[in-house]
Copies of this chain bind each other. A is one copy, B any other.
Amino acid sequence: MLADASVALQPFVDRLRRHSPLSDEEQAAIQRLPFSRLRLGASRELVRTGEKSAFCCFVAEGLVARYAEDRAGLRQITALQIPGDMPDLHSAILPGGLGGLITLSQATVFRVPHAAVLRLIEEFPALTLALWRDTLLDAAMLMSWVANVGRRSARQRIAHIFCEMSVRYAGGNGYLDAFEFPITQVQLGEAAGLTNVHVNRTLRTMRETGLVELRSGKVIILNRADLIQAGDFDPAYLTVD
């Protein structure tokens, strides 16, 4: 457990408050959740596919991916999780239903026991709704992800992912035009449903046409309007109202 545990989950509280009103008491109850801290390198499995874990993971720092895997071992990333996210909040209610979880970069993760989450929502019905709503926002992002890999060209897919991350890293304040995004081209391919080779070529033309740049784990948006256009991006699904 952590010394400054009393505010460690603040980013999560902030996120919930962006879509659900929470009383001071409810916020304090979240802050009192017990957790253990994990510091991990890149490419560490947090949850294996199909495994039933006994914890929810809170991302405090770094980049984490949720993924599905077919029998051949081919990976499809279904969600990217950034600090403040709880990728497998689901698992408290539906253990084992979310696929695998892996760190893409060095990361700090807090593991909260399911039992503690269940106790919390038993005591505070309003928190149940807030957490439920949070998992539904996650589902909305999944639908957008389906549309992204199902209907769009390589350029559109990658543009869309960059747009989404730009908005999410901004934490509710529009877009960030430069941000840390420690993802490799292989992993970006696993997210977009493309091979790393084609990701590389596509990134090149995006760079050359002055759209966006990904270099050493950092995204620089060169032309935001064009990027949004190229990705057919509408941020509505990321927020309530």
Contact = CB atoms under 8 A, between A and B. Distances in A.
Given A142-B139, A151-B193, A133 B236 contact: no
Interface string A130-155: 00110111111011111101111000
A42 interface: no
A25 interface: no
A76 B132 contact: no
Contacts of A97: 136-137, 139-140, 237, 240
Interface stretch (A10-18, A121-129, A202-210, A216-224): A121-129
A145 B147 contact: no
A61 interface: no
Contacts of A225: none
Contacts of A38: none
Contacts of A74: 151
A150 B149 contact: yes
Determine chain A's interface SS by DSSP, over half rule.
helix
Contact of A133 (B50, B94, B237): B94
A70 interface: yes
A71 B138 CA distance: 22
Given A68-B147, A90-B139, A132-B132, 10 more contacts: A68-B146, A70-B232, A71-B234, A78-B142, A97-B139, A98-B140, A135-B139, A139-B139, A142-B142, A145-B146
- Which 8 A-B pairs give the minimum distances between C-beta atoms? A150-B193, A149-B150, A68-B147, A142-B142, A76-B147, A94-B136, A97-B140, A139-B139
28 contacts: A68-B146, A68-B147, A70-B147, A70-B151, A70-B152, A71-B232, A71-B234, A76-B146, A76-B147, A78-B142, A78-B147, A94-B133, A97-B137, A97-B237, A97-B240, A98-B139, A128-B128, A128-B132, A132-B132, A135-B136, A139-B142, A142-B142, A146-B149, A149-B149, A150-B150, A150-B192, A150-B193, A151-B193
Interface of A: 19, 50, 66, 68, 70-72, 74, 76, 78, 90, 93-94, 96-99, 122, 125, 128-129, 132-133, 135-140, 142-147, 149-152, 192-193, 232, 234, 236-237, 240-241
